[in-house]
Amino acid sequence: MARDTDLLSDLNTFATKLGSYNLPTNDPKHIPQAAYLGWYSEAVRAQCDPVDGTTDGIVADPEACTIDYTKFRCGNPGVPSNACFTDPQIQTAKNIYSDYRDNATGAFLNYGLSKSSEMQWSVLLGGDSPSDFGIVDSNMGMRSERHLTLNGRRWF
């Protein structure tokens, strides 16, 4: 059963969890920003746009779309090597779309990101270390996790 999200706890924790899916940046699972802001965003839109019944460039029903990852899996026939994901990168994408659940209890904490949200991923995945506003270690966020929960300590 879903519950309301508390902005000062669950939402920031969720944003940080999302960022951790894509770290560290030298890990094979890492999806580069150029990919999700470029070819990957376009590939998802191409697959999900017609699912709502109209091919108009708008993904109006992202929940109904099931991404076929074989169409951009590295090494698959016809998939260009400069616009593909490895299996670990595909798992990262699946994690980002998946609902966030408590590891111990399995309880629902937050919805995953929608398909066709890739152009906004840079806010959550664009840095190389976690922050209290997703993964971007800048002055963008409220810094509540760092300062209220961890008393100002850095993540690593």
List residues binding Ca ion (CB under 5 A). 49, 52, 54, 56, 58
As measured in angstroms, the least distance from the Cβ of 80 to Ca ion is 25
Residue among 29 and 115 whose Cβ is closer to Ca ion: 115
As measured in angstroms, the least distance from the Cβ of 54 to Ca ion is 5
CA end-to-end span of the chain = 34
As measured in angstroms, the least distance from the Cβ of 61 to Ca ion is 8
Residue among 6 and 63 whose Cβ is closer to Ca ion: 63
Residue among 54 and 70 whose Cβ is closer to Ca ion: 54
Dist. CA 133–CA 148, nearest whole Å: 13
Residue among 53 and 77 whose Cβ is closer to Ca ion: 53
Provide the total of helices (H) and of strands (E) in the chain, helices listed first.
6, 2
Phi, psi for residue 73 in degrees, rounded to 5: -85, 125
Which residues are CB-neighbours of 155 under 8 A, at least 6 positions away? Answer: 129, 130, 131, 146
